[in-house]
Structure 1
Amino acid sequence: MPPRRFAAHDMDFDLGPDAAANWSDVMLEHHGLYCRFDDSRVQASTSKSWTLGHIGLTQADLACVVLAPVGEERSSWQGDWLYLKLMTRGYIDIEEAGQQHRFDAGSMFFIDPERSFQESFTERAQMTVLRIPKSNLRERGLRHSLPRLVITDSSSADTRAARALIHCIAQQQVAPSPMIRDLMGRQLLELIDALLGAPGDKATSRSAEVVLLRARRYIHTSLAHTGLDTSAIAAAAHVSVKHLQHVFRSQGTTVMGHVWHVRLQHAQRLLNARQTLTPSAQEVAWQCGFATAAHFSRAYRAEFGICPSQVRASTR
């Protein structure tokens, strides 16, 4: 089941008589976070949230507040999402699994709300937060459940470039059109691909989880290749064809069955996209790795009960 749609909203903690209670209610309902203020040093805070496609984005300016994720018993639980946090000013203290971490401006890290942690803002700090659906990461063969914090290498040129691009996109806020915001969200997912990678991605690892992640990641990046087959996927996953087939059978499917499912799901997204320049059904077929438009049309109709040309006509 996909996670709930991220709610766009602005919040200001204006120090009024009901400000703390109102802020806490919104943090609990929309962000799945318990909120506690330091009554002796209370200061104004702000938070602005919006969406970029499937990704939720928040810019927060916080002071003298402690945050902790709610448990699965609450409807606002955020366990179906992963957070990428970029500190832009000040610092944040995080306690997780008995360990203390301090992140100052320029730091960037991933954290999983499925695990218990506590964030403390003892002084004023600003950060940009990406909220990423785990289903999107799972589909791409990426890590979607983190046992602990994943901290990016601040000295890496790749990290610095990714950080600069995230910061630039965050500055655009809600001004761009929905189409451009959706495209920016896809670009952020590509960046997350590069930052997260796959766990324990060594050629000698044959655990089912790692093999699946490698295979799905390769499938996702190779959908347009008509030569995408079990042998190519097995080679990319560093296992034999027989072992790869066994791993996918344990998931209740086959290697190529999964490939065609992903291709058709991707085709459905392309056909339903409402953009200024929309690809034809034939172009979608090529982009999704179908050798002929006829094969694509038959497979699409068998999966969704409608011809791709009919879908394209309705979106126009």
Structure 2
Amino acid sequence: MNTDDRFYTWNGMPVDHREWVNELSIHGWKCRLDTSQFGPSRLNIARAGQALISSVEAAWFAVSPGSPHPSAAWNEERLIVQVVKSGVLFIEQLGQTSEVGPGDVVVLDPQRRFTEAFRETTRMSVLSIPKSSLRERGLPDRLPMLLRPNPALADVDAVRGLVLYLASLSDRASESILSRLGEQCIDLMEVLVDDRADPAMHRSVAANTLLAKRHIARHLADPDLNAERIAAELNMSRSTLERVLRASGLSVMSYVWSLRLERAAQRLVSDTSHGAIKKILFQCGFSNHAHFSRAFKAHYGMTPREYAAEHKEARSATMQQTPRHNVAGMGPS
């Protein structure tokens, strides 16, 4: 490996690349170094009460949670708050890549798989909070995917500033002060993870409902469509998405499947060509013929083929009963 070990520093001490990877493993990260590029990587970590606060400078490697190390931090179940100061952080999760730049805030749940890539020198402050401390405060402690609180909101900006301030004091302030500031950060996590901090909550319920239904209708053909992706693409939390669709009397995915079946039924009536059923099931987001047939029969009381045949007969009967018109469009005199 051509990795230049001069670039790695852990809590002020130079380490080689193996020690760097091992330290990250102890703290719950699986690390993959980019051996074709080099850049400075430093990490200083301190305890702040129940929380851990870190100042990070990272370049040319990728990390993901889930280290097999027996003392990995994720054994304690934590949420991670990251505030980018400079550079760019790329986060890949559920097939989507988010670009996080200077001033941005992101909240991550290590129990939901993701990968972070540092493709240039990136500096950030990181707050690691035990989920138990969030549960004690009645706050959400599990995230379906990354959250990106809006830093333009004054409350989010205030919490971001506090995290940056805590990180700046981590190697200078007393243990007592760090502990008290860490507890304040945990108290204020409500701003970052609660629905009231969700930008979607500033829209009316009717507007959110319309946005959600439009988005679902446009993406019905995607077999991988799920509640987490819908919420993320609409910039709302999953709980907000569930709430706005509750008026329909269905959960998010129940609504998706209901709409898929409705669209399939419409197309079965209009398209009776050979092979239409197979084509329609894929157009409506089903990936399995047997699943489609079972779901359709449970909803409509007949198989897709029976449904198409019945409506074809009904349409033929209607056409036979319709009086023929002459070329001029006038009925018989």
Sort the TM-score into its range (normalised by shorter chain): 0.5 to 0.7
Q: Please name the residue that 2:249 is paired with.
A: none
- 5 Å matches for 1:83-162? 83-162=80-159
Structure 1 stretch displaced more, 141-150 or 193-202: 193-202
Q: Contact 2:90–2:116 at 8 Å: present in 1 too? A: yes
1:47 aligns with 2:43: yes
Q: CA deviation at 1:157?
A: 1.7
TM-score normalized by the length of structure 1: 0.56
Report the CA distance shift for 1:200/1:119 in structure 2 as closer, same or farther (over 3 A).
Answer: closer
Higher Rg: 2
Residue 63 of structure 1: which of 30, 37, 59 is its match?
A: 59
SS at match of 2:160: helix
Pair 1:34-2:30 in alignment: yes
**Structure 1 CA distance, aligned partners of 2:152 and 2:176?**
34
- CA-CA distance at 1:75 after TM superposition: 4.5
What does the per-residue CA deviation read over 1:187-238, in whole Å, with 9 as the maximum and x for residues that have no partner? 1112212222259999x9xxxxxxxxxxxxxxxxxxxxxxxxxxxxxxxxxx
Cα distance in structure 2, aligned partners of 1:46 and 1:95: 22
Q: Does 1:173 align with 2:174?
A: no
Partner SS state of residue 112, structure 2: coil
1:1-316 equivalences under 5 Å are 10=11, 19-29=16-26, 31-70=27-66, 75-76=71-72, 78=74, 80-198=77-195
8 Å contact kept, 1:13–1:45: no
Runs of 4+ in structure 1 deviating by more than 6 angstroms, as ranges, are 199-202
Which residue is equivalent to 2:321?
none
Partner of 2:44, secondary structure, is strand
Q: Which consecutive residues of structure 1, in runs of 5 or more, have no partner in the other structure?
A: 1-8, 205-316
Q: Please tell me whether the aligned partners of residues 69 and 77 of structure 1 are also in contact (alpha carbons under 8 angstroms).
A: no
Q: 1:145 to 1:38 in 2, by over 3 A?
A: same
Contact in 2 for aligned 1:55/1:130 (Cα 8 Å): yes
Contact 1:12–1:46 (Cα < 8 Å) also in 2: no
Contact 2:44 2:56 in 1 (8 A): yes
Residues 13, 65 of structure 1: CA spacing in aligned structure 2 closer, same or farther, 3 A cutoff? farther
Q: Secondary structure at the match of 2:82?
A: strand
- Distance in 2 of aligned mates of 1:98 and 1:64: 21
Supply the distance in 2 between the matched residues of 1:200 and 1:60 (Cα, whole angstroms): 26
Q: Which amino acid aligns with 1:97?
A: L
Classify 1:77/1:50 alpha carbon distance in 2 versus 1 (closer, same or farther; 3 Å).
closer
Q: Is the 8 A contact 1:153 1:159 kept in 2?
A: yes
The answer on whether the counterparts of 1:141 and 1:198 sit within 8 Å (CA) in structure 2 is: no
Given that 2:60 and 2:118 are in contact with CA atoms closer than 8 Å, whether structure 1 keeps it comes out as yes
1:112–1:199 distance in 2 versus 1, CA, 3 Å: farther
CA distance in 1, matches of 2:14, 2:117: 17
One-letter amino acid of the counterpart of residue 96, structure 1: Q
Question: With structure 2 as the length reference, what TM-score do the two structures score?
Answer: 0.53
1:26, 1:72 → 2: CA distance?
12
* Structure-1 separation of matches of 2:79 and 2:103: 19
Paired with 2:37 and 2:46, the residues of 1 have a C-alpha distance of 29
% identical aligned pairs: 29
CA distance in 1, matches of 2:197, 2:68: 28
**TM-aligned CA distance change 1:170 to 1:71, over 3 Å:** closer
Maintained 8 Å contact 2:40/2:121: no
Q: Helix, strand or coil for the counterpart of 2:144? A: coil
Q: Report the Cα distance in structure 2 between the residues aligned to 1:36 and 1:57, rounded to whole angstroms.
A: 23
Number of residue pairs matched by the alignment: 190
**CA RMSD after TM alignment:** 2.4
Structure 2 spans left out of the alignment, 5+ residues: 1-9, 206-333
Aligned to 1:225: none
Pick which of 165-174 and 101-110 moved more.
Answer: 165-174
Contact 1:11 1:23 in 2 (8 A): no
Name 2:265's counterpart in structure 1. none
Give the direction of change, closer, same or farther, for the CA distance of 1:199–1:155 in structure 2 (3 Å limit).
closer
